[in-house]
Amino acid sequence: MKLVLTPDMTFESMSDCISSRFPEYKTTIKRNPIAKFQYIEVRKSGTVGIWIRVFEKKGYVMLINTMPSPLVRAFLGGLLLIAFTHKAQSKVRTEIGEALKEEYKTTDFKT
């Protein structure tokens, strides 16, 4: 899911918005150690979560399904597990996406 980036969509404000609306999800701001980009990890469980990346030059925010736990990705992250968790991950992505659209008065990004 891609959303149009607005000037007030910072990592801190999006993280605060998600934390206040969804206290059951663990939200953290992280940095990729190799590529050095920042992202927000929203974690429902070790196998269900999303990453939120900001692409300033392209003008959008991307919500990506993920398995937040590195151990799960390393040891159990096969196609079979992805097939079982995709629906739950997509549900979380949709919930968070709708909350961000409402909070920041933004829309889906059209390519």
pLDDT tens digits, 49-65: 999 999 999 999 999 99
* pLDDT value of position 46: 82
Low-confidence residues of the chain, pLDDT below 70? 72-81
Range of the domain at 50: 2-103
pTM: 0.89
Q: Is residue 17 part of a domain?
A: yes
Q: Is residue 108 part of a domain?
A: no
Q: Is residue 48 part of a domain?
A: yes
Sheet-wide strand order for 60-66: 2-4, 60-66, 49-55, 38-43, 26-31
Q: Is residue 111 part of a domain?
A: no
Q: Is residue 59 part of a domain?
A: yes
Q: What six digits make up the tokens of 18?
A: 């998600």
Q: Is residue 57 part of a domain?
A: yes
Q: Is residue 110 part of a domain?
A: no
User: Number of folded domains in the chain?
Assistant: 1
